[in-house]
Every structure is written in structure tokens, then in C-alpha cells.
């Protein structure tokens, strides 16, 4: 049984359908990369999976149970976390307070989980008293990822985690994604930096015009000349 599956998903905004019959699967402990041109529907797919948009057709299944159209707060409790591209932190709060907000639904002591997150992001522990609004984009992205991990999810979805970051900071983000995956967390990543995300990925999907175009291992997609010319800058 796959950890997450989507079958024949149609979704969009009002009368504008963006996704047309999109299907996918994610196995436990996999990194899956979704690439494609701007406007292909990549972010729309994540929002549909997470319940921020309701599909007009098709189904989403997580851990064997249908979550089609389920509200995000219920999906979080099932073991899924989502980091949107923007507005993914509380800038007026400190790093530590942001991480605490990530554990908002927990009723027991989460100090051990907090230390686990700090171990994944040692930089955040050093800066735990700093207000997030004064941090760089890459630093804020690490806060957002750390906050999403506070509930110890089985699946972490990331929307453009390296967007607008300098190459060195982007490299740090990709290193942290690999480290998170090594703890056993499955990762679904949408990225414009297609080459780097496919290097991380066990498998990848190419979306174009809201439809599945290609599916293969990350290695094979990188080596595919047609994909290279169309989606990877030659």
C-alpha cells in the first residue's frame, strides 16, 4: 500500500480547472519531485492534496484512507505537513516561538520533539531567541520546515523551498531535505530548481498544462534529453 496516492484528480479555482486527470503515488520514505513549467499546476496539486482546494473529480488517499476534500486541520492530525512557498512563518515571533506554534495541537510535553528539530537544524538552536522577521529568506525557510516537523509527520510537502534563494542557501535547504528524509519522513517537493530536486528524488513527475507528462526515477528524468530540453534548460 502506497503512503499517498492521487487518482484522476481534477482541481482548480472556481470555474478555472488547472489540473486535468492527474495521478501519482508516494511510497514510504521516498522523496518525490514534481517539476514543470510555471502554471503547470504544481502548487495547485499540493493545495488539493492538503485540503486547501477540493477536487472536482478524482480521489486522494493517505495511509489507505480517503482524505479527498478533508479539511487541512484533520489532514495534519493524520500525519501530513505542508510548507507553502510564502507566508509560512510568524515574523513577529522568535524562532523558538515559531517552533512551539508548530506543536499547537499537542497536549503532552513536546520538548523531546523540539530537540529533535533543533538537531536537524542546529542553526535554529543558536538563533532560537531571534525574531524571524529579521532573518534572511533561507533562514526563514528553515524555520518553516522545522515548524512543520514539530508534529513528527510521516509526509512533508514542500512548495518551492529554494525559491529566490542564493545558490549557497538553496544548497543548504536541499541538504536539510535529505537529512529529514533520512529520519524516515517521506517528502513531496515542488521545485523550479528542477535539476537539483531531481538529484534528490527517488522518483519524479513532470506536469505540463495540468496533466501528467512523464514519470520516472529522478536519475532517468535527469538523463532524458527531451525533458532536459523542455524543462531543465537544455
Report pLDDT for 232.
Answer: 82
pLDDT digits (tens, 9 = 90+) for 131-154: 999 999 889 999 999 999 999 999
- Comparing C-alpha atoms, which of 170, 121, 148, 172 is closest to residue 46? 148
Q: How far is CA 217 from CA 30, 200, 211, in A?
A: 11, 10, 18
CB 59 within 8 A of CB 11: no
Mean pLDDT score, 8-28: 97
- Comparing C-alpha atoms, which of 191, 211, 206, 204 is closest to residue 18? 211
Domains of the chain, CATH where assigned: 4-231 (3.40.50.300)
Report pLDDT for 1.
Answer: 87
pLDDT digits (tens, 9 = 90+) for 174-191: 999 999 999 999 999 999
Q: What is the pTM of this model?
A: 0.94
List helix spans (H) across 150-216.
Answer: 167-182, 194-200
- Other Cβ atoms less than 10 A from the Cβ of 44: the count is 24
Amino acid at each position: 500500500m502506497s503512503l499517498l496516492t492521487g487518482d484522476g484528480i481534477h482541481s482548480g479555482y472556481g470555474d478555472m480547472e488547472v489540473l486535468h486527470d492527474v495521478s501519482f503515488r508516494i511510497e514510504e520514505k521516498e522523496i518525490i519531485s514534481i517539476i514543470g513549467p510555471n502554471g503547470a499546476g504544481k502548487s495547485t496539486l499540493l493545495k488539493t492534496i492538503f485540503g486547501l482546494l477540493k477536487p472536482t473529480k478524482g480521489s486522494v488517499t493517505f495511509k489507505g484512507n480517503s482524505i479527498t476534500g478533508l479539511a487541512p486541520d484533520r489532514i495534519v492530525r493524520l500525519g501530513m505537513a505542508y510548507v507553502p512557498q510564502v507566508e509560512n512563518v510568524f515574523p513577529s515571533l522568535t524562532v523558538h516561538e515559531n517552533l512551539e506554534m508548530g506543536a499547537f495541537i499537542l497536549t503532552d510535553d513536546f520538548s523531546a520533539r523540539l530537540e529533535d528539530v533543533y538537531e536537524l537544524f542546529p542553526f535554529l538552536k543558536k538563533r532560537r531567541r531571534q525574531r524571524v522577521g529579521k532573518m534572511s529568506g533561507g533562514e526563514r525557510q528553515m524555520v518553516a520546515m522545522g515548524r512543520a516537523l514539530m508534529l513528527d509527520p510521516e509526509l512533508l510537502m514542500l512548495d518551492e523551498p529554494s525559491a529566490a534563494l542564493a545558490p549557497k542557501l538553496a544548497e543548504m535547504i536541499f541538504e536539510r531535505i535529505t537529512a529529514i528524509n533520512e529520519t524516515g519522513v517521506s517528502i513531496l517537493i515542488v521545485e523550479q530548481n528542477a535539476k537539483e530536486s531531481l538529484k534528490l528524488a527517488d522518483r519524479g513527475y513532470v506536469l505540463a498544462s495540468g496533466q501528467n507528462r512523464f514519470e520516472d526515477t529522478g536519475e532517468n528524468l535527469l538523463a532524458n534529453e527531451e525533458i532536459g530540453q523542455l524543462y531543465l534548460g537544455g
